[in-house]
Amino acid sequence: MVMNSNDGSVDINRLNSLEGIIKFAVLNRCRDAIDTMLNDSTIVNNIEIKEININDIYTNFDYSKNVFAVYIKGIGDITLTLLLIIDVNDMKRLAEILIGNIDGDNLEELAASAVAEFGNILLAGAFTNALTNITDFRIDCTAPGYANDTLASIMEYIVADSNVYDFIYVKSELSFKKNKEMILVISMLIPVDDTKRLVEIAFRK
């Protein structure tokens, strides 16, 4: 679903094109990776795309409920941030799917580490590789970071050192056939100007 931009700086056709790129070229690769790692079948529930301003973080993102998020920054021909977001109550469930039962004093640390590694493989691997394959852009990924905080606080931290004010935010919600109650969100935050370049290059190819 494409939502109207704040000021029309990215036209609706470009946003629709971006949705197509994410849905058919990128998420298909991510689904294959997730299905293999989780031994499950991934369902794409919806894709939401909207334009946001750096000053409107607390208007656009929840500041009342904590989530667990893994995030990486991509730097190169374009700049972007990729996030894997999961409800904190589902983090242990996901970790146990990945590495088995988790017991002991370091329960939260082990779960966070397992989910962070899963996120790194998914974001820096499947997602970024799919994006570079359709654009030929060079995108170098940073080491993953992770946080247990409100999504608004996490996004505020991510954009704090940016000199860009307008972004496109892409949110893809995923569910599963076996683990029916677990929801994963894969998100991309990309500057408006880089969004235009991404769409133009992808369809030129």
User: What are the chain's domains?
Assistant: 12-204 (3.40.1550.10)
Question: What pLDDT shows up at residue 162?
Answer: 81
Question: What pLDDT shows up at residue 102?
Answer: 67
The candidate with the shortest Cα–Cα distance to 116, out of 140, 91, 151, is 91
159-185 pLDDT, tens digit per residue, is: 987 888 999 999 999 999 999 999 999
Q: What's the one-letter identity of residue 71?
A: Y
Tokens read off for 194? 């880089």
The candidate with the shortest Cα–Cα distance to 93, out of 107, 105, 83, is 107
Rounded to an integer, the average pLDDT of 48-61 is: 92
Contacts of 131 (CB under 8 A, 6+ apart): 25, 26, 137, 139, 198
The candidate with the shortest Cα–Cα distance to 68, out of 81, 95, 48, 87, is 87
Instruction: Note the residue count of the chain.
Output: 205
Rounded to an integer, the average pLDDT of 31-49 is: 95
**Across the strands, what pairs with 141?**
74
pLDDT > 90? residue 24: no
